[in-house]
Structure 1
Amino acid sequence: MSQERQQRIKSSMTDPDLNARKTRASAWFKSLQEDICARFEALEDAAAPPLYKGPAGRFDLTEWSRGDGSEDLGGGRMGLMRGRVFEKVGVHFSLVHGTFSEAFAAQIPGADQSDGQFWASGISLIAHPRNPHVPAAHMNTRMLVTSDSWFGGGGDLNPLLDYQRNQAFEDSVDFHAAMKAACDSYDGADFVAMRDHCDSYFHLAHRNEPRGTGGIFYDRFNSGDWEGDFAFTQEVGRQFADIYPKLVARRMNRPWSEAEREEQLIQRGRYVEFNLLYDRGTTFGLKTGGNVTSILSSMPPVVKWP
C-alpha cells in the first residue's frame, strides 16, 4: 500500500469532527446502559412474595478489553443480572476498533476503502424475564465507522405465550407506538419501512415464522445529516428505556402455571435458533474479536426443545 493511501486512510479515521462524533456517540451509549440498568434494578426492588423470592437482583458490571493486551483495540463494559424478575438480562456497552479480516471486510460498506480499518461503539440488550406473561425484549443501537460512518439498531418485542404472539396484543401495540414516536421525532426515519425491515429480518426462515411481534430495525443509516441521525438513534434508546419497564411492570405480578412456564421455555428456543443461525450482530461480534461471554449472554438461561 502506498504512503499516500496510508495517509488518506489515517486522515479519514482521525478527522477531528469525526473524532468528536465518536466521543459523543460512545458516551451516549454508555450513559444509556447506566440508565437502563437502574430502571431494571428498580423493577427488581418492586417485586414481592409470593411470586418472587430472594433478594432483588443487581447488575454485575465487568470491564473487558479486546485482543491479547499487546495493543489498544478497545473493549467495553458487560452488564449481566440474574434476579427475581429478570431470570437473565444483559445490557452491554462496547467501543472497539482495529482491522477486519479480509473476508469479513468484503461484507462491510467502506471497509475496502479503509483497508479494513474500523471503529464501532454501541449498546446491546436482551431481557429474559422469569414470568412467562412478561415479554422478552431486545434492543441495540450502534455507530460504525470505516471510510464512511452510519448508525444502526432498533428494538423488538418477543412475547412467549401463544395468546400474546400477535401484533394486536396490547403490549405489542404500545411497544410499536413507542418505536413510531422515535421515528416521528426525525423526518429522515420511516417507521413503516423500519417496521417492515424488522419483520423481515427477525424471521426464522427454516420455520417460516416470526421471532416475535416486531418493532423497528435499521442498518447503515446515513441520511447525510449526522446530527439528525444521532438524535434519532438517541430517541430510539430513550423510547425503549421508557416503554419496556412499563410493560414489565404491567405483567410481572400475574401468576403463571407450569404449562405456561413450559410454553415459555419452548418459545425461547426460537430466540436461540435465530441468534445462532441468522443474527448479524452475533456474527459481527465474533468476527471482530468481541467478548464471547457478552455476545452469547443473549442466550436464555433455561430453554427446551420438545
Structure 2
Amino acid sequence: MSSLPPEIEDRRTRAKAWFEDLQIRIVAALEQLEEEAPPEFYPEEPQRFDLRPWTRETGVGGGIGGHFKGRLFEKAGVHTSAATSRFSPEMAKEMPGADKDPSYVSASISLIVHPRSPRIPTVHMNTRFLSTAESWFGGGADLTPMVDEQRSEEADDAVLFHAAMKAACDPFDPDWHETYKAWCDEYFYLPHRKETRGVGGIFYDRHNSGDFEKDFAFTRAVGEAFLDVYPKIVRHRMSEPWTEQDRMEQLVRRGRYVEFNLLYDRGTMFGLRAGGNIDTILSSMPPVAAWT
C-alpha cells in the first residue's frame, strides 16, 4: 500500500521492534510493582496484564493492547501499534510531506497508569515514529500528582522525574531538555481551567534533527528513562497511608485528566481520525473521576 522508499519501511521496522520490546519490559515492571504492593494497603490479589492483539480496520497493521486493572494500579494501559496506510485529504494537509503523497507508515508505544493510591502520581508516556515523504519522532512523558502537596516542581517526585528526563536529553543536545520541558508545560495546559494538568515532563513532536540514528537513540533514551524513574516513584509512595480527602482530590484531578484528553490531546484526536483502536485510544480515561 505504501509508495514510500524501502529505507523508510526499514526504519519503521526497527522502531516497531524497539517499541514492542519496551512494552514487554514496562509490563513486567508494573506487574512486579503490583506483586510488591503491601497487603495492608492493597489486600486484593495481584493481577496481571491482559494483552490483546488487534488489527486495523483501515490500511494495514495493528498492535498489542496491554490492559490492566489491579490492586496497586486501578487502571493502566501499555499499548503498541503500527500502520501502513494513507491519510485522508483533510489529514494530509496537516502532515509534513503528505501533500506530495498521502502514504505513511507509523509505529508507536503509548501508556497511561492510574494508581489506586492518591499518594502515587498518575503518569503518561508515549513515543512514536511516523513517516510520509518526511520522517520524524514524537512523544514524551509527563507526571500528574494527585494531592496538593505534591503538585509543585519542587516536590520530591517532580524533581526526580524532571532529572530523569533531563538525563535522557542532555547526551544528545544540551538545549533539548529546556525546549521540550517548556513545550510540555505549554501543551499540557487547560485553557478553560487556567492550570496545567500536572508537573510536566517533556513533550516533542515532528522531531527530525536530520540524523535518524541520533533521533532514534534519543527516543529510546526517553523510554529507558521512564522505565527507570517511575518504578522508583511508585516504590517510594506505595506504602503511604491516604485519607478520604486525598481520594477526593485524586478524583477531581482525574476529572481534569478527562477534560484534557477529550478536548485537547493530539494523540486522541489523531488516533480516532486515523482509524486506530478505540479501546486503546480511550484507555487513558481513569476508571473513576469526579467533578465538584
Tell me the TM-score normalized by structure 2.
0.98
Deviation at 1:189, TM superposition (A): 5.9
1:203 corresponds to which residue?
A: 189
Distance 1:253 1:290 in 2: 38
Question: What is the DSSP-based 3-state SS (H/G/I as helix, E as strand, rest coil) of the residue aligned with 1:83?
Answer: coil
Residue in 2 aligned with 1:17?
7
* 1:76 equivalent in alignment to 2:63: yes
Q: What is the CA-CA distance between 1:100 and the residue it aligns to? A: 1.3
2:178 matches 1:192? yes
- Distance, in Å, in 2 between the alignment partners of 1:53 and 1:285 is 37
1:108 aligns with 2:95: yes
**1:99 match:** 86
Q: Which residue of 2 aligns with 1:3?
A: none
Residue aligning to 2:125: 139
Gaps of 5+ in 1: 1-5
Does 2:109 match 1:119?
no
How far apart, in 1, do the equivalents of 2:125 and 2:245 lie?
Answer: 28
Aligned position for 2:218:
232
In the alignment, what sits opposite 1:259?
245
**CA shift at 1:188, angstroms?**
7.4
Shift of 1:302: 0.3
- SS for the counterpart of 2:94 is coil
Q: Provide closer, same or farther for how the CA distance between residues 62 and 53 of structure 1 changes in structure 2, counting only shifts above 3 A.
A: same
Q: Any conservation in 2 of the 1:78–1:90 contact (CA below 8 Å)? A: yes
* Alpha-carbon distance in structure 1 between the residues aligned to 2:175 and 2:277: 31
1:62 to 2:48 alignment? no
Alpha-carbon deviation of 1:108? 1.3
User: Is 1:188–1:223's contact at 8 Å kept on the other side of the alignment?
Assistant: no
Q: CA deviation at 1:234?
A: 0.1
Aligned residue for 1:113, secondary structure, equals coil
Deviation at 1:117, TM superposition (A): 1.3
2:27 maps to which of 33, 37, 41: 37
* Equivalent residue, structure 2, for 1:28: 18
Q: Which amino acid aligns with 2:8?
A: L
Deviations along 1:73-132, one digit per CA (max 9) or x if unpaired, are: 100100011011100000000001211111121111111111x21111110011000000
Size of the aligned set, in residue pairs, is: 292
Residue in structure 2 matching 1:243, options 223, 229, 247: 229
- How far apart in 2 are the matches of 1:157 and 1:134? 10
Percent identical among aligned pairs is: 54
Q: Compute the displacement of 1:19 (Å).
A: 2.2
- Residue type matched to 2:24 in 1? E
Partner SS, residue 127 of structure 1: strand
Q: Compare CA radii of gyration and give the structure with the larger one.
A: 1
The residue type paired with residue 97 of structure 1 is T
What secondary structure sits across from 1:237 in the alignment? Answer: helix
Aligned-pair Cα RMSD in Å: 1.3
Could you give the per-residue CA deviations for residues 122-177 of structure 1, whole angstroms, max 9, x where no partner exists?
10011000000000000000000111100000000000101111100110000000
